[in-house]
């Protein structure tokens, strides 16, 4: 998972994920791996043979991946080239295993019926994104993912919602996993204990997160809550994938693919670790990498195989963001409530505070969080957005000034 996901709950996406060896050799038949030439040849697959990074034939990598129960395919959420590569991998896997199932980190469990209706052809594109609450639950540009969704629909490949409601992750990060009742855990079981290396990595990331928000390290419980939230995220996705893995004696065993941020995949510490705890051990992990620094920093065990992109892609332009975490108001309450304001954000600079309720935007009543997110995304650079905010017993007029592009 990359830094994009946790922006919505005020955490940074730091997970180091997992690499599990491919089933069988990296190449088959007469094709043999060739040494990689200093990560300079784009458009090729690489894999480790011990400590040596070798170029390997695409056919061997994909055939070996397809022989597993689960294939995890990573991404940086806002990089378009990563999604183009994912589509190519899905097409290749589908050619070998037509009984494909594709799970997506982008969707919480509650919208599974929407995914089913999309795949069956019952929804228009507009209705699909509206009913899946895309602006609310993911908020990255939908055109990045649309080719993947259309591929599943055209080929009638089941799509699986892997994620959970962000309220759950936020509650765990604030109170700890033990304090959240089972009935409020969205059906997610207790996560397996993390490897020691993963725990220490997350501790460093937690400190970096606090430093980025100008906060001093708190009590030990603060980190433990952060850790619980990360593990719950991993566990939720692993459970959703594992449910689609058929028993060994089943006559029909689909290949289950997970599309998710690379941090959930690398080094075996994220989703793959939770899958092993659930009894799913045959897992392949495929990651994209650039021909520059990313390639040179690859390590044994990071993933089963890597695909080299021509160069480190430029992320898509970041959509405008207020820098707030929102939740729906109570029944009968106007507007949406601000749960958290990020340090240094537009919201903070404009004077918005946690517990404020946004009741109007540009003179129009606010009815839900998705409406706020969509309006902010549409706001052109260099313009102003007037808000009416309820704060305790007062109503305030606040002007958010969106900076012009450099």
Q: How many CA atoms within 13 Å lie on the side-chain side of 248?
A: 4
Which secondary-structure segment (H or E) carries 125? helix 125-131
Tell me whether residue 330 is in a domain: yes
Tell me whether residue 20 is in a domain: yes
DSSP strands (E only) in 89-232: 100-108, 159-163
- For residue 66, how many other CB atoms are within 10 A of its CB? 20
| CATH number of the domain encompassing residue 287 | 3.40.50.11550
Residue 327, pLDDT score: 87
Tell me whether residue 319 is in a domain: no
Cα gap 256→250, rounded to integer Å: 14
Range of the domain at 387: 324-401
Q: How does pLDDT run along the chain (406 residues), one tens digit per residue?
A: 443 443 333 333 333 333 333 333 333 334 444 444 657 788 999 999 988 898 999 999 999 999 999 999 999 999 999 999 999 999 999 999 999 999 999 999 999 999 999 999 999 998 999 999 998 889 789 999 999 999 999 999 999 999 998 888 888 888 888 888 888 888 899 899 998 988 888 888 788 777 766 555 554 458 889 899 999 999 999 999 999 998 877 878 899 999 999 989 989 889 999 999 999 999 999 999 987 777 888 999 999 999 999 875 555 566 778 989 988 877 778 899 999 998 889 999 999 999 999 999 988 899 888 888 888 888 888 888 899 999 988 999 999 998 887 6
Cα gap 193→98, rounded to integer Å: 35
Please list, in sequence order, all residues whose beta carbon lies within 8 angstroms of the beta carbon of residue 126, skipping any fewer than 6 positions away.
Answer: none
Q: What's the sign of the alpha-carbon dihedral 353, 225, 135, 262?
A: positive
Question: Of the residues 248, 279, 309, which one is the last residue of a structural domain?
Answer: 309
> Does 328 lie in the same domain as 295?
no
How big is the CA angle at 65 (ends 159 and 279), to the nearest 5 degrees? 70
> Does 141 lie in the same domain as 166?
yes
> Does 351 lie in the same domain as 237?
no
| CATH number of the domain encompassing residue 339 | 2.30.42.10
Residue 22, pLDDT score: 32
> Does 270 lie in the same domain as 349?
no
Tell me whether residue 190 is in a domain: yes
Tell me whether residue 315 is in a domain: no
Question: Of the residues 309, 337, 369, which one is the last residue of a structural domain?
Answer: 309
Tell me whether residue 214 is in a domain: yes
Residue 214, pLDDT score: 56
Q: What is the distance of C-alpha 203 from the center of its chain?
A: 20
* Residue 341, beta-bridge partner list: 324
Tell me whether residue 318 is in a domain: no
> Does 297 lie in the same domain as 192?
yes
What does the chain come to in residues?
406
Q: Decide: helix, strand or coil at residue 4.
A: coil
* Residue 340, beta-bridge partner list: 325
pTM: predicted TM-score of the whole model, two decimal places: 0.73
> Does 165 lie in the same domain as 39?
yes
> Does 295 lie in the same domain as 389?
no
What is the number of structural domains in the chain? 2
Work out the end-to-end distance of the chain between its first and last CA atoms, rounded to an integer number of angstroms: 28
> Does 200 lie in the same domain as 146?
yes
> Does 350 lie in the same domain as 220?
no
> Does 271 lie in the same domain as 237?
yes
> Does 113 lie in the same domain as 212?
yes
Tell me whether residue 61 is in a domain: yes
> Does 189 lie in the same domain as 69?
yes
Nearest to 152 by CA among 112, 103, 84, 85: 103
Nearest to 49 by CA among 338, 378, 305, 357: 305
């Amino acid at each position: 998972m990359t830094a994009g996901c946790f922006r919505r709950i005020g955490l940074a996406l730091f997970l180091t994920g997992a690499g599990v060896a491919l089933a069988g050799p990296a190449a088959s038949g007469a094709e043999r791996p060739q040494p990689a030439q200093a990560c300079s040849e784009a458009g090729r697959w690489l894999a480790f043979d011990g400590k040596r990074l070798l170029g390997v034939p695409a056919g061997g990598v994909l055939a070996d991946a397809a022989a597993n129960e689960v294939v995890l395919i990573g991404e940086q959420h806002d990089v378009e080239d990563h999604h183009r590569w994912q589509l190519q991998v899905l097409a290749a896997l589908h050619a070998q295993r037509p009984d494909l199932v594709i799970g997506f980190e982008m969707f919480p469990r509650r919208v599974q019926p929407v995914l089913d209706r999309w795949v069956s052809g019952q929804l228009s594109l507009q209705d699909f994104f509206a009913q899946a609450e895309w602006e609310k639950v993911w908020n990255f540009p939908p055109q990045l993912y649309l080719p993947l969704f259309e591929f599943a629909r055209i080929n009638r490949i089941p799509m699986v919602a892997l994620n959970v409601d962000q309220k759950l992750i936020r509650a765990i990060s604030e109170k700890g996993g033990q304090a959240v009742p089972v009935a409020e855990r969205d059906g997610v079981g207790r996560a397996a204990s993390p490897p020691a290396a993963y725990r220490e990595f997350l501790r460093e990331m937690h400190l970096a997160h606090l430093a980025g928000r100008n906060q001093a390290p708190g009590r030990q419980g603060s980190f433990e809550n952060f850790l619980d939230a990360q593990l719950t995220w991993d566990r939720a996705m692993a459970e959703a994938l594992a449910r689609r893995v058929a028993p060994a004696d089943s006559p029909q065993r689909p290949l289950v693919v997970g599309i998710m941020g690379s941090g959930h995949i690398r080094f075996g510490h994220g989703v793959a670790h939770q899958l092993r705890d659930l009894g799913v051990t045959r897992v392949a992990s495929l990651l994209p990498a650039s021909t520059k620094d990313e390639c040179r920093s690859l390590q044994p065990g990071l993933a089963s195989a890597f695909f080299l992109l021509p160069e480190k892609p430029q992320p898509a332009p970041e959509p405008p963001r207020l820098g707030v975490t929102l939740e729906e108001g109570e029944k009968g309450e106007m507007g949406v409530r601000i749960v958290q304001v990020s340090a240094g954000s537009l919201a903070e600079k404009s004077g918005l505070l946690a517990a404020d309720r946004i009741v109007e935007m540009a003179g129009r009543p606010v009815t839900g969080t998705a409406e706020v997110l969509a309006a902010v995304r549409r706001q052109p650079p260099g313009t102003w957005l007037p808000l009416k905010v309820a704060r305790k017993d007062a109503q305030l007029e606040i002007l958010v000034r969106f900076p012009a592009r450099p």
